[in-house]
Amino acid sequence: MSSPINVGVIGCGYWGPNLVRNFKALTSCRLKAICDVNESRLRHLRTLYSDIDAHTDAATLINDPEVHALAIATPVAYHYNLAKASLLAGKHTLVEKPLAASSAECEELIEIADEKGVVLMSGHTFLYSSSVRKICDIINAGDIGDIRYINARRLNLGLFQKDINVVWDLAPHDISIILHILGELPLTVNCQGNAHVTSGVEDVTNLSLSFRNKKFATIQSSWLEPRKVREMTIVGTRRMIVYDDLQPLEKIRIYDVRVDRPPHYDTFAEFHYSYHYGDSYIPHIQQEEPLKVECQHFIDCIESGMEPTTSGRAGLELVTILEAATASLKANGAPLNFLRKRDDGVVPPRPRQSRGAVQVGPLAV
């Protein structure tokens, strides 16, 4: 696309202003318009960016032929309708997580994007963070050996939602990271939780995902914790990684610790586990705002025609897991088989792909 890419942002509440700020800062596109039903929000953003158009009706942006791409940051319930209208209008579309409220809606959005030949991208922002990219580099280099399990905790007090539970609100971040690291889909999904504040809306959950070769992942999500926690532990056969996103600088620490089981023994007296305790170290990370990298990647994909790292299909995979978690919650935590069916049998988990394959400007994501 030879002329500058004009971008519009729909939804300027909690997350939208961050998209506005980052698109405005990019030199590879032009932020043309914003939209929100709250006029006071629009007035505030107009005081910061006086050269952009502001509207209360999303149709104005969708029908504007000078707007080439739209970023949608509204509540989940509005994602599908807005994204569908945007795609049908021939606009490249970035939708914040989760992509839609159901897998059927995601599939339809993917089909429309393919038919129209436009980019559909899911806003899985953490995959564009320097920390996650460094973790992927470490794992790809074989430094921690084979992954045994991953444990994630994303806890805080609020923000309470009325239309989605805590799994749909907080777990997508960790699910997207886990799928990206492992490069495959789970075999089974099970989830337990309770609704303590709003009836029917779970505010505390434990989600478990099982994968091939005895790998598994657990994700604890809560709106009822006194402390904010953003932590993930990746346990390998050789080393272990602790990722604490709340640390300002030392977000990743690698522990050279492991336990080995003796290959054989004849008597109980000969049976001893071997514990290895080595040093821990903190790798250097070049910090950059993940959302800035994500927004630039969206523009790069529009210009090059390449598929985004967090494509519509990645959004579909995540939403399908969220649906399975919801079904498991309703079944009191019963595990659900996640293997997908096809005419000639069962589709196995997707093959492993490079965890750092797509170029984002000068950075590899």
Alpha-helical regions (H) of 26-129: 39-48, 58-62, 79-88, 103-116
Q: What's the pLDDT at 262?
A: 63
Condensed to tens digits (0 to 9), the pLDDT of residues 305-361 reads: 999 999 999 999 999 999 999 999 999 999 998 865 333 333 344 433 434 433 333
Q: Give me the residues of the chain with pLDDT under 70, please.
A: 1-2, 258-278, 339-365
Rg (CA), the chain: 22
Report how far residue 19's alpha carbon sits from residue 74's, in angstroms, rounded to the nearest whole number.
12
What is the CATH class of 5-118?
A: alpha beta
Domain 127-289+320-347, architecture per CATH: 2-Layer Sandwich (3.30)
What predicted TM-score, i.e. pTM, was given to this entire model? 0.87
**pLDDT for the residue 281:** 85
pLDDT of amino acid 272: 54
| Per-residue pLDDT tens over the stretch 221-244 | 999 999 999 999 999 999 999 999
Cα 246 to Cα 248: distance, rounded to the nearest angstrom? 6
Are β-strands 252-260 and 224-236 bridged in parallel, bridged antiparallel, or unpaired?
unpaired
Judged by DSSP in three states, 356 sits in coil
Residues 6+ positions from 287 with CB-CB distance below 8 Å: 130, 249
Q: Provide the pLDDT for residue 264.
A: 59
Q: What is the pLDDT of residue 267?
A: 54
**Domain spans in the chain, listed from the N-terminal domain onward:** 5-118, 127-289+320-347
- Computed from CA positions of residues 99, 104, 105, 109, in that sequence, does the dihedral angle turn out positive or negative? positive
